[in-house]
Amino acid sequence: MDGRILLKCVIFMCLIACSTGRELKLKDQGTIYNHTLATILVEYAATVYVTDLTELFTWTCPRCDDLTKGFQIIELIVDVKRCLQAFVGVAPDLNAIVIAFRGTQGTSIQNWIVDLYWKQLDIEYPGTKDAMVHHGFYSAYHNTTLRPGVLSAVKRAKELYGDIPIMVTGHSMGGAMAAFCGLDLTVNYGSQNVSVMTFGQPRIGNAAFASYYSKWVPNTIRVTHEHDVVPHLPPYYHYFPEKTYHHFPTEVWLHNLGFELLAYTEEKVCDNSGEDPSCSRSVAGKSIMDHLTYYGVRIGGEDGFCRIVMNRGLTAYGTVDVDGNVILSRDIPASVLRMNVESNEKGRSI
């Protein structure tokens, strides 16, 4: 190879390296992957696992700080029987409504993962042709106390703060619920400014569902990490395209390159197929450890018990329904409202 060709190669490789930079716009979709935003949202997705409801509701848990400081919970919803948990609140730094769903906790993570291999596409997604999803994931959001709780909190937040963006997030099974929630808000409630970011999410539906989903919620980032097993499940059978599960876009695959002193993490923004073979699908994906760490944040996989901790003071904010579900909600303190009005130049009247 002569020198000029070599030089051209080097420049070309630099260009490729530069183009995998941190904030990258996918032209065909308008999806923007924002590294800074991802490192903030992963904190919310991790915090929703906290079992002490008092700490969570008052945002005083050990990890309720730094990147999520000042978060105002509007509603905290716990489905005790099914061991599901979610919150809705307003993040002043992001000037957005944040909705977070907890992943599975009632059973050991190993058992839950083994079960994922056998999940069927067993319910039609309403209002679409040919779109099939997994009933268990679907009903965890749609057929529990989570959905009405989330919807009423979003309505209240919008009354108070106006039409600020809505960011929905979750890890693992919580990512599946986040996707259903983002779609629900967009399709059924006409919300304009919904984005979804999930971490280590399983597949939830077939290809028809994936394309329906990405049409309605194009601003979706599905983060996967190294060999995390969960995004590989339920399995994708490429030789059986009509019947298989199929991820929606856009995947961002976090994986390590280089070694020793030169090791670094690449955040690869994948193609818009949802099943980019050069992203997490390029590895076998058998790791549970990689499932439990995203952006260096330990997330989920606490003990195998489903429990809640709640002190008596909290009952003033709560209702407990006949099934034992807990819904804690509050009106935003006046001081916070005033702050928001002052910082809002349009001066929305409240």
Question: In angstroms, rounded to a whole number, what is the distance separating the alpha carbons of residues 137 and 149?
Answer: 17
Is residue 192 a contact residue for ligand NAG (CB under 6 A)?
A: yes
Strand, helix or coil at 122? coil
Find the part of the chain contacting ligand NAG (CB under 6 A) among 29-37, 82-90, 152-160, 174-182: 29-37
CB of 286 to ligand NAG, least distance (A): 32
Cβ-based nearer residue to ligand NAG, 85 or 219: 219
Half-sphere CA count of 125, side-chain side, radius 13 A? 27
Cβ-based nearer residue to ligand NAG, 81 or 286: 81
Is residue 302 a contact residue for ligand NAG (CB under 6 A)?
A: no
Is residue 143 a contact residue for ligand NAG (CB under 6 A)?
A: yes
Strands (E), 200-340: 220-225, 251-257, 264-269, 293-294, 297-298, 318-320, 326-329
Burial of 314 (0-12, 13-18, 19+ CB in 10 A): middle
Paired with 222 in beta bridges are: 198, 251
Site string for ligand NAG, 88-117 (x = CB under 6 A): ------x-----------------------
Interface residue with ligand NAG, options 106, 136, 165, 318 (CB under 6 A):
165
Could you give the angle at the alpha carbon of 266 between the alpha carbons of 262 and 268, nearest 5°?
A: 160
Interface residue with ligand NAG, options 29, 128, 193, 244 (CB under 6 A):
193
Cβ-based nearer residue to ligand NAG, 53 or 196: 196
CB of 198 to ligand NAG, least distance (A): 17
- Binders of ligand NAG in range 207-266 (CB under 6 A): none
Contacts of 187 (CB under 8 A, 6+ apart): 127, 216
Binding site for ligand NAG (CB under 6 A): 23, 34, 36-37, 94, 139, 143, 164-165, 192-193
